[in-house]
Structure 1
Amino acid sequence: MFLWDERPKPTRGPKPALTLEQIADAGIAIADVEGLAAVSMQRVAADLGYTKMSLYRYLPGKAELVAAMLERGIGSPPDLSDGPWREALTRWADALLSRYFGHQWALEASTGDRPIGPNELGWMESALSALPPGLTGAERMDMIATIAGHVRALAGQRGGESQMTGAMTLVLREHAQRFPAVVAALTDTAKTGGADQAFTFGLDRILDGLEMLLRQRV
């Protein structure tokens, strides 16, 4: 399978002028600036100084190109071998959020029917291995999906919470009476602080729920 099988080195003919890593890095450079939609075999080839057809020597098409980009972009998962499970899962979520912040296109690239590489599967292995005992296989998968979903949701709103608060403040100057609960929450936040903590707050509540479930089963 692509990304898993070691590509044989040619024994005859000219040596490959490119590597899959170089091609993926060229795609990443485009996507980081212009988004995933700007990435194409032709565009990547042109940026590398090659023809589009020459890239097919290294990968079958755009789906595999994006998969290779995602492998390079998210990299390897963090080492979770030390510390309690809660701290380990927090490190995992923090690291994944950081990777998504570094490559916003990775959110789109990691959805749908697509090739999956060893790095991406390694992130799941890392998180599953950090979970405490006491959960069924389905529950373990669901817990990782829940944490990853929380990470993805917040990664897609980078800077959005502050921007939305600013926009709401402008609107509420004239329409405060219609939205008293919103006004009360924003007013209290302005007094007591705690804004832009949705990622930490949400993750803590997810882990609180897991901890409570495990205690109930003792």
Structure 2
Amino acid sequence: MEKDQPDETGLPASLQMAWGLRERPGKGPRPTLTLPKIVDAAVALAAAEGMDAVSMGRVAKELGVSTMSLYRYVTAKEELHILMSDAGVGAPPPLPPEADDWGWRELLTRWAHDQRAVLMANPWILRIPITGAPLSPNHLAWMERGLASMAGAALKEGEKISTIILIGGLVRNEAVMAADMMEAIVKSGVRPDQVLGQYVRTLRLLTGPETHPAVTRLLESDAFTGSDEPDFQFRFGLDRILDGLAALIDGRSPAR
């Protein structure tokens, strides 16, 4: 595509610049303000103070420029959010050399854990609403790696993208719950183990074998305190999804 004809993509100018399809706006001397600088300032603000602190005016103040100067690069706050999210997730990390011998299950597992690690390290990304399908460079790179993980699997292309959406939903949901709980814990000033202990004690006071027999069995088990496996709940959910996918693929194998 010619750089002077980028409108065929249907993307706003800021995303066209992110893809390298459009040069900097305007003519004349190269300005000191650039789209990457704007995005970097917004990301730094979100990481330090949360997404509620991010506005066009506040970002402009951090950069020492007028708010109107930002609109030459980003025409709306929603565009800035997309670019921030893309910068926050970054490009997918490279796979280790031994990944050449991995099957689809190992590759999807690494894809899911790598995504989760990014979101847990940058919880502000989770506060950006999802307003459409991914169209930014890094988000599409993550999609590409997820789809490529299933290149050798007996799955239709529609099933592959559905798998990506399903696993991505698990990753995001688990990360949102973790971020919400941590935010509440920080505000309370109580240690995480104390919060869990108080929750168990409160449940014991509110429930009993006659009114809540299933909850009682849960409390009498070691579900809250007995598992030393890190990220057990996330691993359990991911494994169940992958088990179902394995059953589907195995059912299509020539041997069957």
Answering whether residue 167 of structure 2 is matched by residue 152 of structure 1, we say no
C-alpha change, 1:11 and 1:175, in structure 2 (3 Å) is closer
**Letter of the aligned partner of 2:153 in structure 1?**
P
Q: Which moved more, 1:81-90 or 1:164-173?
A: 164-173
1:38 pairs with 40, 43, 53, which one?
Answer: 53
Q: CA RMSD in A?
A: 2.5
Give, in whole Å, the separation in 2 of the partners of 1:53 and 1:109: 23
Partner of 2:227: 193
Give, in whole Å, the separation in 2 of the partners of 1:118 and 1:188: 46
Give, in whole Å, the separation in 2 of the partners of 1:157 and 1:10: 40
Deviations 1:30-58 (A, max 9, x none): 22233223211111000111110111222
How far is 1:10 from its partner?
A: 7.0
Give, in whole Å, the separation in 2 of the partners of 1:91 and 1:115: 20
Partner of 1:17: 32
Structure 2: runs of 5+ lacking an equivalent:
1-10, 183-191
Q: How many residues align?
A: 218
How far is 1:165 from its partner?
A: 4.1
Give, in whole Å, the separation in 1 of the partners of 2:226 and 2:134: 47
Partner of 1:168: 199
How far is 1:98 from its partner?
A: 1.1
CA contact (8 A) 1:107 1:152 kept: yes
CA contact (8 A) 2:74 2:80 kept: yes
Partner of 1:215: 250
How far is 1:137 from its partner?
A: 1.8
Deviations 1:62-118 (A, max 9, x none): 122111111110001233563221111111111111111122221232512477301
TM-score normalised according to structure 1 size: 0.88
Partner of 1:134: 154
CA contact (8 A) 1:63 1:114 kept: no
C-alpha change, 1:212 and 1:114, in structure 2 (3 Å) is closer
SS of 1:203's partner is: helix
C-alpha change, 1:77 and 1:210, in structure 2 (3 Å) is same
Question: Identity of aligned pairs, percent?
Answer: 40
Partner of 2:185: none
C-alpha change, 1:176 and 1:208, in structure 2 (3 Å) is same
C-alpha change, 1:44 and 1:187, in structure 2 (3 Å) is same
Give, in whole Å, the separation in 2 of the partners of 1:115 and 1:191: 39
Deviations 1:167-218 (A, max 9, x none): 5313223223133322322332257425751111111111111111111112
2:118 pairs with 95, 99, 109, which one?
Answer: 99
Give, in whole Å, the separation in 2 of the partners of 1:27 and 1:216: 49
**Letter of the aligned partner of 1:169 in structure 2?**
V
**Letter of the aligned partner of 1:174 in structure 2?**
L
Give, in whole Å, the separation in 1 of the partners of 2:43 and 2:26: 30
Partner of 1:55: 70
Give, in whole Å, the separation in 1 of the partners of 2:140 and 2:106: 21
CA contact (8 A) 1:63 1:115 kept: no
C-alpha change, 1:173 and 1:79, in structure 2 (3 Å) is same
**Letter of the aligned partner of 1:155 in structure 2?**
A
C-alpha change, 1:20 and 1:115, in structure 2 (3 Å) is farther
Give, in whole Å, the separation in 2 of the partners of 1:165 and 1:11: 56
CA contact (8 A) 2:204 2:219 kept: no
Give, in whole Å, the separation in 1 of the partners of 2:134 and 2:162: 21
